[in-house]
Structure 1
Amino acid sequence: MASSSLPVDTTGRIAPSDMNRVRTEGPARGADAPLIRLENVHFSYPAAPAADGLADGPEGEPPRTEALAGISLSVRPGEHLCILGGNGSGKSTLVQLMNALLVPTSGTVEAFGFDATTMEGALEIRRRAAMVFQHPDDQMVTSIVADDVAFGPENLGVPQPEIVQRVDAALEAVGMSELAQADPADLSGGQRQRVAIAGALAMQPRVLLLDEPSAMLDAQGHASVQRIVQRLNDRGIGIVHVTHFMDDALLADRVVVLREGTIALEGTPEEVFAQRDVLRTMGLEPPFAMRLAEQLAHAVPDLPATGDAGLLAHDVAHRISEGADDLRATGRDVPTLAAAPAHEAPPAQAPGDAIVFDHVSFSYADEASPRRKRSRRHSTRPAPLALADASFCVPRGSLTALVGCTGSGKSTSVELACALKLPRSGSVFVGGIDTADLARRQELRAQIGYVSQLPERQLFAETVRDDVAFGPRNLHLSDDEVERRCTEALHAVGLDPSDGLMGRSPFALSGGQQRAVAIAGVLAMRTPILVLDEPMAGLDPAGRDRMRSLVQRLRSEGVTMLMVTHAMDDVAELADHVVVLDRGSVVAQGSPRHVFGQSPCPAPGLPAPLAFARELARNGVPLDCEPLTLAELCQALLARLPEVRHHGAAC
């Protein structure tokens, strides 16, 4: 078995290789003793001195920003604990303290009976806890998926046959078996996240620490992670899950909500979500079913306060049926809605389209290093195509949503649209310019702006001002115009363009502020076309609302946008046009109502209101329209509820 002298990866990926050994290892402790215990924990990050008047710390040290302030919390054996909170509330800091990746400024952190502040204690803790980070690239260590998943067990000296079994089982659990021999660099962000989760599963942890593991996954991938988490918890593995998805919290035994480094709420999911007003003050929101019940509360009293949309649909369907029977008994007409219009046909390609993909194919094998190309020459399998004969358009002035399952080719498409890659065959036109025309490359760059999946990683300058101003300066604008654009762009993303902020290092800001600065740098270019790759990923509900407002304002100003997203609710709310990819091919395009109205639906999920309406139909109460938004669903339900019609209530 592994000894304490074995190397431990600094990302915290080391975990026990044998569950029975783990359950008996470590200091003697009571069966009901907490696995992890934090007592009055404070933690501060050192902050770089800035031009905003911040005072230095003690004895001339850099000022410190307190991320956690007096946290006391325990994790019990086999417990599923969910941690919620807005961006910057301290969630990631808290979970890294639990895995001894950070040391508290003051207070006590103990896990599995070991002191997390000592080197020996940290090594022992990481043998018993596996962590999945917010960004999968932070955990990729090899050039082959299977080797990456095997990395932790190999470091623990697990026998090779058992490693093979663990790797196979872990990859199957996250739906990545077919890509076991792929290079993680060739995978989409969501696929790499699955590999990171598989690496944690292969170590058979006693506690699994998850920091936003579904942020880059589609609806199916998110549901798969939920099932994996539930299965592991059913086997007795403790779960600590940091998330912005409110539905994840419904599966937990206990929910903790952080606000500015302190515990603001704690209790069962039902107890926490009952505090709707308090949650909203923290920029959070209840799950969809609770928001719908709240919208209907004045018209339909005593609806169940549940986050389970299926349970709510069953109750609402029963009330509609019961009310209709009462009306029939009195001889009155049962109200109905007018039939929904026929599904629209997808629009034909127009000469003025802002972006046109004309039979485009692309393979990452074409960009492979010489070493990888040599290895592929000996392979009998053809190089996979990330895009295969794809043709679609982005109408000028529209917001076009690009959707599809993880690995369908979405991020590849936007990189082709921005001329960061060139197609193997076919052509991509942006504003009428062929991206392969190198002579017009500068002209093309002035046409299109790109906000990547992790925009904060686009930062590079020493100050916020220099980072936001970089693009406008390259356009050779006057200093006054550059300053004006920087100020307006920072205002647009919700930041105050004070001299203090402009003079700070972007790397000294919070994660949410870094993302805002990166987006401001793209907005300052004022390009007529804007590409957004998962702009809502990793944002709390308040941050998503701000991003939606920004997108709506840009669209009203005539900016053409191509937005990659896994959130079907955002597609329904924001998009004029939808393109659906599946394994590199275009399988549907048209308006949201046209795409979501197809049967079977080609999109990788449904907007929550439409899914609820279809659940009503399965309960015997079909609606006469297909609502895509909460407002449409509410209106349709009120029209079907006789008692509501009688009282003249409105949503």
Structure 2
Amino acid sequence: MIEVSDACFSYGEGDVLDHVSLSVGAGERVVLLGANGSGKSTLSRLLNGSLEPTSGNVLVDGRTDGLARLVGYVRQDPRNQIVSSVVLDEVAFGPRNLGLSREEVLRRVDEALDACGIGELRNRATSELSGGQQQLVAIAGVLAMRPRYLVLDEVGAHLDVAARGRVNEVVERLVGSGVGVLEIAHDPLALFGAARAVVMEGGRVAWQGTPRELLKSDDARARAGFGEDSVARALSIAARRGLSLDLRPEPHAVARYLVREDACAFGQSHTKALFRPFLASKMAFARGSHFSLRDVSLDLRGLTLVLGPSGSGKTTLARLLAGVMSPDAGDVLLDGRPVRAGRVGLAFQRPGDQLFCETVYDDIAYGPRARGASERDVDAAVRAAAARLGVGEELFDRSPFDLSGGQMRRVALAGVVACESGAYVFDEPTAGLDGPSRAELRRLVHGLVEGGDPVVLVTHDAGEWLEEATSVAFLRDGAVVQQVEAHVAASSPELFVAVGLEAPFMVELRAELEGGAEHA
């Protein structure tokens, strides 16, 4: 058993963890929830010995030493975990360090790769993989160590629905074999299959109970960050009417506990008529002999969601649309003029790639200063953008690299918004954000679009954006399969399946409700 007793931890200025007590038993699955900056990631690092508490104790099966071998830890950002240049070597790294025979190492590598559904990546370079593929490799590397306990720190943030499903299946098998799992999450679907839910606030355990108790309590859902989450609201209604949370249900099973009128409780999609032209025409891009994108044409007015499986070319498309890369063929036009770097605001998939100043304030101020704004105007832009993204002024003098992953993302987004570019491309902007921060971001994007600025949003979390979107573009193998109005995509699971994606939970649930199925 993992036993955390009265643990405190400080990075130097106040306690990040304040007398935390928590346990995870063998074969138990616990989901850890809470706002960005509440201490979840710091706690997870204590569990495998990456950090030591400043006071209190952390015991794993009665031991205080050798925790890294007992507790496998998968980070939010796989690039902070991957050390080898080839997938095979990366997954083999841990078992080799255990002194296992070559045959046993290779057996474990094959087992872990197959468990994560990425056997075909065995001989690929890790640097050439998409973010989602890198995360699956990082998980496989930890699984190959066969830990007694597993800590997953927002590992689904960069994964599509299918990949998240594979990870969930792996976790369920591990729990069934006696492995204890602590899963840090911002997704209400993570509650299914968990024995307990624990909510952190301000470095303390603020609430804990069963997933059903959490969903049935408005206060607990709000503390967990699910107050404005459509999936959580639908699940709450179903849980109050008897839905079991033992195993992750299919949407049709949830729909049996809902009626068509319940749809108003979790929102319905709608479109907006916005006409500022942002267009991509017959665009192509190749790396060597491999085409990342081929003959891509898109109408990007309003809010356009770009969806596709990992490796389909979404991030490459985002960089071409923002002008930081040039297409080998075709054009990208905004208001009839070719897009150049700096004309379109770009938020990278990982915030650490665009944060580089010593303080949060200077990072947000960098763009306005580079454009020659006066310090008075710079200060106004910084404070306005920070307020829109929920970046408190108490963080202005902090290093952005001392913040939690969600806080870093909000700072990076604030830096983009402060430039007032007039068009924006956001690559996986909600990855790692808690529920309130995601809602804040949706309001920000809504305001940008209502003000006439086109926004392109690359995401694995389509379900939460369909209510705001104008259209949805589906990518597969570097090509646009189709672009449809958002209200069509919102209840059409087959569109997702056609490009190799699993439809979001809410899309399937809407399809069930709108299809006239009989519900209890």
TM-score by length of 2: 0.89
Q: Match for residue 386 of structure 1?
A: 292
Q: Match for residue 386 of structure 2?
A: 490
Cα offset, 1:405, TM superposition: 1.2
Alpha-carbon separation, structure 2, partners of 1:390 and 1:173: 35
Q: Match for residue 377 of structure 2?
A: 481
Q: Which one has the largest radius of gyration? A: 1
Q: Match for residue 571 of structure 1?
A: 465
TM-aligned CA distance change 1:552 to 1:524, over 3 Å: same
Q: Match for residue 266 of structure 2?
A: none
Alpha-carbon separation, structure 2, partners of 1:394 and 1:81: 44
Q: Match for residue 169 of structure 1?
A: 111
User: Cα deviation per residue 1:61-85 (whole Å; 9 max; x = unaligned)?
Assistant: xxx2311111122222221122111
Q: Match for residue 560 of structure 1?
A: 454
User: Cα deviation per residue 1:157-184 (whole Å; 9 max; x = unaligned)?
Assistant: 1111222222122112222121211111
Alpha-carbon contact 1:132-1:209 (below 8 Å) kept: yes
2:358 is aligned with 1:462: yes
Amino acid at match of 2:39: G
The one of 399, 403, 416 equivalent to 2:307 is 403
Q: May I ask how many residue pairs the two structures share in their alignment? A: 502
Alpha-carbon separation, structure 2, partners of 1:502 and 1:81: 34
Superposition pairs for residues 177-256 of structure 1, below 5 Å?
177-256=119-198
TM-aligned CA distance change 1:101 to 1:89, over 3 Å: same
Cα offset, 1:425, TM superposition: 4.2
TM-aligned CA distance change 1:479 to 1:155, over 3 Å: same
User: Cα deviation per residue 1:92-151 (whole Å; 9 max; x = unaligned)?
Assistant: 111111101100010111113222xxxxx1xx2222221111110011111111111111
Cα offset, 1:293, TM superposition: 6.5
2:41 is aligned with 1:41: no
Alpha-carbon separation, structure 2, partners of 1:469 and 1:356: 30
SS for the counterpart of 1:193 is helix
Alpha-carbon separation, structure 2, partners of 1:287 and 1:306: 20
Q: Match for residue 303 of structure 1?
A: 241
Cα offset, 1:488, TM superposition: 1.9
Alpha-carbon separation, structure 2, partners of 1:242 and 1:597: 29
Cα offset, 1:292, TM superposition: 2.8
2:222 is aligned with 1:280: yes
SS for the counterpart of 1:572 is coil
SS for the counterpart of 1:209 is strand
Cα offset, 1:155, TM superposition: 1.0
Alpha-carbon contact 1:129-1:205 (below 8 Å) kept: yes
Superposition pairs for residues 268-347 of structure 1, below 5 Å?
268-285=210-227, 291-292=233-234, 303-304=241-242, 306=244, 308=249, 309-316=251-258
Alpha-carbon contact 1:361-1:424 (below 8 Å) kept: yes
Alpha-carbon contact 1:100-1:125 (below 8 Å) kept: yes
Alpha-carbon separation, structure 1, partners of 2:175 and 2:398: 44
Alpha-carbon separation, structure 2, partners of 1:159 and 1:286: 51
2:440 is aligned with 1:546: yes
Amino acid at match of 2:317: S
Q: Match for residue 65 of structure 1?
A: 14
List alignment gaps of at least 5 residues for structure 1: 1-34, 47-63, 116-120, 321-343, 367-382, 436-443, 624-636, 642-651
User: Cα deviation per residue 1:621-647 (whole Å; 9 max; x = unaligned)?
Assistant: 449xxxxxxxxxxxxx9xxx9xxxxxx
Cα offset, 1:353, TM superposition: 3.3
Cα offset, 1:91, TM superposition: 1.1
Amino acid at match of 1:407: G
SS for the counterpart of 2:446 is helix
Alpha-carbon contact 2:405-2:432 (below 8 Å) kept: no
Superposition pairs for residues 468-617 of structure 1, below 5 Å?
468-497=364-393, 501-595=395-489, 600-601=494-495, 602=498, 604-615=501-512
Alpha-carbon contact 1:246-1:286 (below 8 Å) kept: no
Q: Match for residue 372 of structure 1?
A: none
User: Cα deviation per residue 1:410-454 (whole Å; 9 max; x = unaligned)?
Assistant: 11111122233333444444554546xxxxxxxx23421111112
**How many percent identity over aligned positions?**
36
Q: Match for residue 27 of structure 1?
A: none
Cα offset, 1:224, TM superposition: 1.0
Amino acid at match of 2:242: P
The one of 335, 354, 365 equivalent to 2:278 is 354
Alpha-carbon separation, structure 2, partners of 1:227 and 1:214: 13
Alpha-carbon contact 2:388-2:440 (below 8 Å) kept: no
Q: Match for residue 336 of structure 1?
A: none
TM-aligned CA distance change 1:193 to 1:290, over 3 Å: closer
Cα offset, 1:218, TM superposition: 0.7
SS for the counterpart of 1:574 is coil
TM-score by length of 1: 0.72
